Amino acid sequence: MWYKERTKLWHDKNLRSKELHVGQKVLLIQSRLKLMPGKLKSRWIGSFTIVALRENRAVELKGSDPNSNSFIMNGHRVKIFRDSSELCVVEEIPLRMPTPSPN
């Protein structure tokens, strides 16, 4: 019993909650595709925009095409889409200090 309780506490502690907002771009998992032609083919499709957030973590999505219809999907099947504009600049620090040359 203790093992199960400790394992559950560890898993619950390491869960990351998704912060979904209206207007945010997300990717949708394609779970029904069982036989994949390539091993490394991604199961995440599209770039969908969140139109509305519903009860029980359901989200209403709309495709990137302006004529596409919106549809409702479980919030567990989406993940936040990160494009190149959200990348941050990292400062590079050299590990070795240059040695002064004797003059």
Determine the pLDDT at residue 88.
67
Share of the chain above pLDDT 70, in %: 83
Dump pLDDT digits (tens) for 73-82.
988 889 888 8
What integer best gives the mean pLDDT of the chain? Answer: 82
State which amino acid sits at residue 17. Answer: S
All domains of the chain in start order, with CATH:
19-33+41-85 (2.30.30.140)
Q: Which residue has the higher pLDDT, 12 or 60?
A: 60
Label residue 50 by pLDDT band (50, 70, 90): very high
Sign of CA dihedral 79, 81, 87, 93: positive
Distance CA 56, CA 43 (A): 24
